[in-house]
């Protein structure tokens, strides 16, 4: 049985469920898992600088004591400048968040690309590859970081 699909609500910058008539949309399990992995706030590492100046490392309480936390550290870029270093961090944080797909054998390989689409607008493309080398999914998130300064 397929999972309930998450779809991105661009206007409100959040993931949500979608109804098809009276029932929830299902399928797109890879895309839904990618949304959760990329856009849930993973706990910050002890040496990460928290962008709002607090000491709140975010994360999910269910990750306490777990070896592999859910989500990504992309939220640390919320006040980052439009530099190559920010793009590099976006790729690194995305790869870190998606590594479980490879570890669990869901896909064989993942490519992640980041670019500045326009001023203060970071685009991210994620390509998942099956064990036989074919593309399982190509997902773009060009709208996700429009708040970067």
Q: Edge-to-edge strand order for the sheet containing 135-140?
A: 109-118, 121-129, 135-140
Winning range, highest mean pLDDT, from 65-74, 115-124, 125-134? 125-134
Per-residue pLDDT reduced to its tens digit, 92-108: 999 999 999 999 999 99
Question: Residue ranges of the domains in the chain?
Answer: 6-140
pLDDT at residue 144 tops 60: no
109 pLDDT tier (thresholds 50, 70, 90): very high
Tokens of 86: 């920010």
Per-residue pLDDT reduced to its tens digit, 122-143: 889 999 999 999 999 999 887 6
Give the burial string for 22-57 (b: 16+ CB within 10 Å, else e): eeebeebebbbbbbebbbbbbbbeeeeeeeeeeeee
Residue of 43, 100, 104 lying closest to 74 (CA atoms): 43
CA dist list (Å): 112 to 4, 123, 125: 25, 11, 6
Instruction: Give the DSSP per-residue string, 64-99.
Output: TT-SS-SSBSGGGGTT--SSHHHHHHHHHHHHHHHH
pLDDT at residue 14 tops 60: yes
Higher pLDDT residue, 108 or 26? 108
Tokens of 134: 């074919």
Q: How many residues does the chain have?
A: 149
């Amino acid at each position: 049985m397929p999972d309930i699909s998450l779809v991105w609500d661009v206007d409100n910058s959040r993931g949500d469920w979608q109804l098809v008539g009276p029932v929830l949309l299902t399928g797109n399990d890879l895309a839904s898992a990618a949304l959760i992995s990329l856009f849930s706030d993973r706990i910050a590492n002890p040496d990460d600088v928290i962008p709002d100046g607090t000491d709140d490392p975010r994360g999910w309480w269910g990750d306490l004591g777990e070896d592999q936390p859910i989500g990504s550290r992309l939220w640390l870029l919320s006040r980052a400048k439009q530099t190559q270093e920010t793009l590099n961090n976006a790729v690194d944080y995305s790869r870190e968040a998606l590594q479980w797909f490879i570890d669990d054998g869901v896909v064989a390989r993942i490519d992640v690309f980041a670019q500045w689409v326009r001023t203060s607008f970071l685009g991210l493309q994620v390509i998942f590859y099956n064990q036989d080398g074919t593309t399982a999914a190509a997902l773009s998130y060009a709208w996700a970081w429009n708040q970067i300064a």
